[in-house]
Chain A
């Protein structure tokens, strides 16, 4: 019932966002931004400031002029150098937009343009974090390999939508600040507001507005916007509403980080993976925010899901004159798996090619020798295929991660793959499409449609690698009052009624109370000192667990201790799965989910566009908390992935279209709920598997290896022309 009421409110547009809040006294905030990509601020000419206008420059900031996350920071206002178009230079607030704009028009800022940052090894200013990990002797192993493949791959940046816009409302009462924000990371907002204003954390409280579908666009940016507004509120002693326009939101939002890979791999005679050498560079934008986390995740991901004794991974991040990049759901694993799963397919193709030649040779020899038995045995020999090869090379219990930690049990990859292959009929189709295409090329006719089928397998790791409290931990506070009402306070409240219902249900079940007696609220009073953001499935995996732990403890104590009873549960680094960021050693992920994807594609030979006809997934992400939401999530992530692979143009800031319902493929999903008794990450599995499966299918259909995303119709045309 609570859900129906909330659903009604939501559909009736009654849910409020920060930009909806306004009072008579509220000042409107604005940001003056750099119009150039890179330059030095030569001079700022400010006219006389009217009484009703509040203006802040970098030197007016009482606290630190920066926004920080564990492992990274960016300036709040540019002091001397601007490093991306749209970087904030000045803050201002006024009674209304018109008065404010009239004043701002009179401000003159002179810039000396500087050359755009181009990455090169010698230039220190463009250097970001880097990693180099070597396991075994990959160079020697590659040398010894019977089959080798070398290829470059690249993945593009992906933009967030403008909506919901970045906005915040800050209210002040004496030294106290109340911040209304749509943020994935409330404790980071408070931390940064406190740091820039120089006011103690205890003076800040936060009201959380819903997030929309942030997909990580609202990890650190809301902290920046909130800190800007807090400064204006502090100086003007008035409430401030700061709402970025669509243009500003698009300009400053982080984006999926672009990566360039150079990869080499080798197989032995029998097809076993011998060596894997993965070298990559990521563009972190002007400042590295969560870049080291993303870099490490890519390092781990590029090692793939296969046994290999000799691996070398080198990765580095370089700075460019784009806004700080990186936050887009998945945080690096999707790029990594695109590269390694594409490379794997190329390797397998080489191996199959050799197997075919061997068979032809054996047949020819048998014919020449007139040996019927030999001929028979040669004719019955089969080649491998991408599914069979994978199943022979999957990681198993006892293998180690790139970082050294041992896999404590075998991943459910075999089951995942088996289901996937049987539901999609992969093996038969792969062979049939190959045959049809080679016949077509031989005959020069076009009676067979250009079809391809591709496969990819991967995992998704929930939560962060870095185990700092401010990133990794989460807290739930349960309070049972005298009337038997339970209040659960969490560090963030998801905009997902299915999940809220689940928490409420689970609490009600444990305590044997009515669901309507359970309230869930966000931590508005700042009781939770530090917690990480709502991302990487942390709400589903971590908070769900904390809710039941808190309730179990209340259940135990409720007839012993006086009411109200307060229990606090915090999620911390587990002792059995330690991770050492410094040394890049240990167990990278607390929980993993596993999945595979098969994509069937046909090339439209009139438009040279890939038409994704059908997609199959097989996913093991532990318990499925809500099937409907899970199916919906897989579908919407598929469309995101399709946008990244084909439809979205990363160069166009404004007028690009998301893939629409007309490009929605038929999707089949198989959930395996066997491997874990907990709910693990579902978000991310699609983006980690679909792109490579898409590429692999398209490469089969065009009989040409594509190596960069997005694949453009022009690329497909060129590939077909070249044949």
Chain B
């Protein structure tokens, strides 16, 4: 039987300043973005939300999309479908593919980019992509400055690499009263991007890969894997070993790499099934970048 609580108190700020202040005063309040990640219960007619809620949907600043020649900047409350609508030419390919696969259309219309990043989920769909792209996120919170002469109020803002948002256990770490406000995705030219999410029956696995080639030399490569056990598996040694090599990889090289990857994966405690899937996806990617390069893409 559904337990009835007192209805939550709803705050609906329209500016970031108000939002930060309200959150500062109610650090236990729930930040409500698209509301699709809250799993507030299927039973009954009331959503199980306790205490107070800060609905950030009315803060226009959080819904802005900004493009410069150095980066694409997304406000935290930009809905997933809006990012997709920007199109393949603007959104990095892997991110574009990931967002298109996220839930049914009604969920993508509601879900926000910020909500996706801040949700404590098992496997994370877009986090690894932002991580490989070296994205920065802006965190803000209310701050009071006391100076001898005047009493200053302002908001503390900091930009950090997205990788610093999670701790070693893969948990999102934000300070009390802190809000994710913007995400900056650098405009970088990757020759190849790949994103594969296997989430049918069986343990899910997300594979993300970026590679850059210059005249058949692999100048950069980044690979990440997310499983139920580990939010982000990345082996920089293996990446470093590949950088500087000539493509196509020889059959022997591929076999060697496969062996190293499998050994590394097994070492992380993943099952041989997940290891096999991860290794097959990686080899497929390495084979793809070994194919003759379409000059137009470089």
Contact = CB atoms under 8 A, between A and B. Distances in A.
A245 interface: yes
A36 B266 CA distance: 39
A712 B202 contact: yes
Contact of A713 (B42, B272, B273): B273
Contacts of A618: none
A646 B201 CA distance: 7
Contact of A105 (B1, B273, B277): B1
A647 B284 CA distance: 25
Nearest to B45: A97
Interface stretch (A63-71, A173-181, A582-590, A602-610): A602-610
Given A247-B42, A714-B273, A721-B272, A607 B200 contact: yes
Contacts of A97: 44-45
Interface in A215-266: 245-248
B1 A104 contact: yes
A98 interface: yes
Interface core residue of A606, A647, A654 (most chain B CB under 10 Å): A606
A452 interface: no
Contacts of A105: 1, 3-4
A33 to B, nearest CB: 8
Contacts of A710: 201
B4 A608 contact: no
A30 interface: yes
A247 B41 CA distance: 10
B281 interface: yes
B198 interface: yes
B221 to A, nearest CB: 19
Given A32-B1, A713-B200, A247 B43 contact: yes
Interface in B1-36: 1-4
Contacts of B272: 717, 721
Contacts, number: 64
B160 interface: no
A712 B274 CA distance: 13
Contacts of B86: none
A246 B42 contact: yes
Contacts of B273: 608, 713-714, 717-718
B276 interface: yes
Given A30-B1, A606-B277, A607-B277, A245 B42 contact: yes
A609 B203 CA distance: 12
A675 B182 CA distance: 69
B280 interface: yes
A283 B182 CA distance: 54
B252 to A, nearest CB: 15
Contacts of B44: 97, 101, 245
B43 A101 contact: no
A248 B43 CA distance: 8
A717 to B, nearest CB: 5
A34 to B, nearest CB: 12
Interface in A597-654: 605-609, 646-649, 654
A717 B1 CA distance: 42
A335 B286 CA distance: 44
Contacts of B203: 714
A369 interface: no
Given A32-B1, A717-B273, A721-B272, A712 B201 contact: yes
Given A97-B44, A713-B273, A609 B284 contact: no
A120 to B, nearest CB: 31
A714 B273 CA distance: 6
Contacts of B42: 245-247, 654
A602 to B, nearest CB: 15
B64 to A, nearest CB: 33
Contact of B4 (A101, A648, A712, A721): A101
Interface core residue of B42, B45, B200 (most chain A CB under 10 Å): B200
B100 to A, nearest CB: 12
A102 interface: yes
A644 to B, nearest CB: 12
B1 A713 contact: no
A98 B4 contact: yes
B200 A102 contact: no
A649 B202 CA distance: 9
Nearest to A718: B273
Contacts of B201: 609, 646-649, 710, 712-713
A717 B43 CA distance: 38
Contacts of B2: 101
A104 B203 CA distance: 40
Given A247-B43, A712-B202, 18 more contacts: A30-B1, A101-B1, A101-B4, A101-B44, A105-B3, A105-B4, A248-B43, A606-B281, A607-B198, A607-B200, A609-B200, A609-B202, A654-B42, A710-B201, A714-B203, A717-B273, A717-B276, A718-B273
24 contacts: A97-B44, A98-B4, A101-B1, A101-B4, A105-B3, A105-B4, A246-B42, A248-B43, A605-B280, A606-B277, A606-B280, A606-B281, A606-B284, A607-B202, A607-B280, A608-B276, A608-B277, A609-B201, A646-B201, A712-B202, A713-B200, A713-B201, A714-B202, A714-B203
